[in-house]
Amino acid sequence: MSLGSLIFLMSLLRAFGLGDPGPLEDVVIDRYYIPKICLREVQMGDFIRYHYNGTFKDGKKFDSSYDRGATVAGVVGVGRLITGMDRGLQGMCVNERRHLIVPPHLGYGSLGVAGLIPPDTTLYFDVIMLDIWNKDDKLQIDTLYKPEHCNRTVEDSDFVRYHYNGTLLDGTPFDSSYGKEGTYDTYVGTGWLIKGMDQGLLGMCAGEKRRITIPPFLAYGEKGYGTVIPPQASLVFDVLLVDLHNPKDGIALEHLEVPESCRRKTVTGDFIRYHYNGTLMDGTLFDSSYSRNHTYDTYIGKGYIIPGMDQGLQGVCVGEKRRIIIPPHLAYGENGAGDKIPGSAVLVFDIHVIDFHNPEDPVEIETLFRPEDCNVTSQDRDFIRYHYNCSLMDGTKLFSSHDYDSPQEVTLGANKVIEGLNRGLLNMCVGEKRVIIIPPHLGHGENGARGVPGSAVLRFEVELMSREDGVPEGYLFIWHEDPPENLYEEMDLNKDGEILPEEFITFIKTQIADGKGRLMPSSEPEKVIADMFQNQDRNQDGKITADELKLKTDEDQERVHEEL
Paired sense of beta strands 271-280 and 235-245, if any: unpaired
Eight-state DSSP code of residue 117: B
Specify whether 175 is catalytic: yes
| Cα–Cα distance for residue pair 497/58, rounded to 1 Å | 146
Distance of CA 219 to the CA centre of its chain: 37
Active-site residue, selected from the candidate residues 164, 274, 296, 356? 164
* Secondary structure, 3-state, 476-531: CEEECCCCCCCHHHHHCCCCCCCECHHHHHHHHHHHHHCCCEEECCCCCHHHHHHH
- Catalytic, 16? Answer no
Q: Answer yes or no: 237 catalytic.
A: yes
Q: Exactly one of 220, 271, 274, 504 is catalytic; which is it?
A: 220
Would residue 50 show up in a list of annotated catalytic residues for this protein?
no
CB 295 within 8 A of CB 289: yes
Between CA 289 and CA 312 the distance in angstroms is: 17
Spot the catalytic one: 50, 108, 237, 271. 237
C-alpha distances (whole Å) from 249 to each of 157, 245, 252, 324, 346 are: 11, 7, 8, 13, 11
353: CB partners within 8 A, 6+ apart: 266, 272, 273, 274, 313, 316, 317, 318, 319, 320, 321, 322
Helix ranges (DSSP H) in 157-232: 195-200
Catalytic residue among 63, 120, 175, 350: 175
Inter-CA distances, 514 with 179, 495, 504, 508, 533, Å: 95, 22, 16, 10, 20
CA–CA gap between residue 95 and residue 101 (Å, rounded): 19
Contacting residues for 174 by C-beta, under 8 A, at least 6 apart? 166, 167, 168, 228, 229, 235
- Which of 343, 272, 264, 342 shows the shortest CA–CA distance to 304? 272
Kindly report the length of the chain.
564
Secondary structure (DSSP) of 6-24: HHHHHHHHHHTTSS--PPP
Identify which of 321, 316, 327 has the alpha carbon closest to the alpha carbon of residue 271. Answer: 316
Residue 89 burial class via C-beta count within 10 angstroms: exposed 0-12, middle 13-18, buried 19 and up:
buried
- Is 164 annotated in the active site? yes
Q: Of 8, 56, 62, 174, which one is the catalytic site residue?
A: 174
The single residue of 56, 82, 187, 194 carrying the catalytic annotation is 194
Annotation marks residue 66 as catalytic:
no
State the DSSP string of 279-322.
Answer: EETTS-EEEESGGGTS-EEEESSSSSS-HHHHHHTTT--TT-EE
Phi, psi of 3 (to 5 degrees): -60, -40
Kind plus residue range of the DSSP H or E element containing 238:
strand 235-245
Active site residues: 164, 174-175, 194, 220, 237
